[in-house]
A and B are shown apart, each in its own frame.
Chain A
C-alpha cells in the first residue's frame, strides 16, 4: 500500500504539487487523474525519489522509497516507456535492470515471455514500436514481482489491442493483491480500468473516491423523453420552470428526477414512448471537477 502525505514540489516559484495526500490500497487499481500539467508525473517522480520534494513524503508499506534495499522487489515503476537505450537489445536492457537488484537472467527470459516479447528479445529497442516499448516497460515492472505498481500513462499511444492488454495486466495484478496506481488522461479508459480514483488539479487533491462515487457526485444527470406530443410536454415543463433542451424528436429535461417528468406527462394525458435518466460520462465528471483548476482554461476545454 502507498501513503502519500503532504507532498509539495516547487520549481522556482511554480508550485507543481501542493500539499498532496492520498492512499493507494492493495487489491484495487487506483486511477490517478488530472488535466495535463496538473502534476501527476511530478508526484510520481517525487514518490520514488527521482525529484526531491520540498516537503511531505511517500511511504511504501510504511517505508520511504530511498530506504528500500532492493526496490524492484517491492515497487515496480514505469514512468516512460522511452527510458531504454535505443541501441541495446530488449534482453540486455532487462538484464542490467535485473542484475542491479540481484535477479538472475532466467527471470529476464520469464518476463519477456509474460509480455510476449520473447521473439524480439535480441532486437534493438530502437527498432521497437511504441507498443513494444510499452510492453518492455511493463516487463521491467514485473521483474521483481513487486507488491506495488506505479505506471505513468501506460496506455499512451497504444492501439486498442495494446490498451486491452494493459488493462487485463493491471486487473490481474490487482486481483493478486497488488496496489496499483496508474495515471492516465484517457478518462474513458480509466472508467474501465480503475476501481478507485485520486483526482488532482493544479497539484492539489480534488477528490479521492470510487469511480461510481465520483460520477454520481460530479456528473450531470438529465431525463430524456420521447413522445408524439413532445411540443405540449415541453411547453408544460417550461411552464413549471424546468430547463428543457429539445432535439429532433426527443427532449432533455435537466435538474429533475424522471418521476417528476413522468407524473407531469400522466397528469396531462401525454403518451410517452421513452422516459430515461442519462448520466454524464467520466469525462464530463472529470471536466466538471477540474474545470476550476485547468491552468490554461480558454486554450483547452478538454484535456487531450
Chain B
C-alpha cells in the first residue's frame, strides 16, 4: 500500500498541469483575500474581516482543489496510463485508496497553506495599517478547520466523479455545476413545492455552510453540515470504486 501511495504521489507531482492547478488554487484565493485587506477602508476592518475573507473565498479554492482530484484519475484515462497502473497494481481497491490518500492529503495541505499564509500575511498587512488592535475571533479557528476538511473532501469528490466519467471536461463540468447550478435549481424547486428552505439538505450547500463564521440558526451546525456532505462524498466514492472494479480498463 505504501509503495502504491508513493507511486501515486510521483504521478501527481510530475505532471505540470497538476502543479499549475495547485498553484492557481492557492494563489487566487490568497491574493483576493490579501488584496482586500490591503485596500479596504480602515474603519471597516474588524476581528471578523480577515477570517471572513479567507473562508469567504474558500469555496473557490476548494473547487479548484476538486479539479486536481478530477485530473489525478481522468488524465490516466486520457493518456492511457490507467492500464499500466492496473498492470502494476492489480488490486483496483488499492489503487483507488492510494489515489484518495494522495489527493486528500494534497487537498488538506493546500487549504492548510491558504489558511496559514492568509492569516500570517493578512495579519501583518492589517498591523501595518492604521487599525486599532483586533481581538481574536472565536469562530475563526473552527471555520478554518472546516475549510481544511472541505479541501480534503472535495478533492475526493473530484476524484470519484473523475473515476465515473473517465473524461476530464465532463468530470470538471459536473464538479462545478453541481454546487453552482444543480443544487440551486433542485433546492429552489423543492423549497417552492414544500414551502420550506431545503438548502441544508443539498449536499454541497451543506458542506459550504460549514465554512461560515456565523452559522444559520436552523442548520445541522458546523460539523453536522460537513459530516452530511462527507457522507454524500463517501457514497459517491463507493459507487466510483465499484465502477473502477467492474468496468474494463
- A residues engaging B (CB < 8 A)? 45, 48-52, 65-66, 68, 71-72, 77, 79-80, 82-89, 92, 95-97, 99-102, 140
Contact = CB atoms under 8 A, between A and B. Distances in A.
B7 interface: yes
Contact of A100 (B79, B89, B248): B89
A77 B9 CA distance: 23
Nearest to B12: A96
Interface string B73-106: 0010001110111111111000000000000000
B10 A96 contact: yes
Chain B interface secondary structure, helix, strand, loop or mixed?
A: helix
Contacts of B7: 96-97, 99-100
Contacts of A140: 84
A77 B3 contact: no
A49 B80 CA distance: 16
27 contacts: A45-B249, A49-B90, A50-B83, A50-B248, A52-B246, A65-B90, A71-B88, A71-B90, A72-B88, A77-B87, A83-B80, A84-B79, A84-B84, A85-B11, A86-B79, A87-B16, A87-B17, A88-B15, A89-B14, A92-B10, A95-B14, A96-B7, A97-B7, A100-B4, A100-B7, A101-B3, A102-B3
Interface in B221-249: 246, 248-249
A14 to B, nearest CB: 14
B129 interface: no
Interface of B: 3-4, 6-8, 10-11, 14-17, 75, 79-81, 83-91, 246, 248-249
Given A45-B248, A50-B248, A101-B3, A96 B14 contact: yes
Contacts of A87: 15-17
Chain A interface secondary structure, helix, strand, loop or mixed?
A: loop
B88 A97 contact: yes
B10 A66 contact: no
B27 to A, nearest CB: 21
A82 B6 contact: no
Given A50-B87, A96-B7, A99-B6, 11 more contacts: A48-B87, A50-B83, A50-B86, A51-B248, A71-B90, A79-B87, A80-B80, A83-B79, A85-B81, A97-B84, A100-B3
A100 B4 CA distance: 5
A52 B248 contact: yes
Nearest to A98: B7
Nearest to A85: B79
A157 B108 CA distance: 45
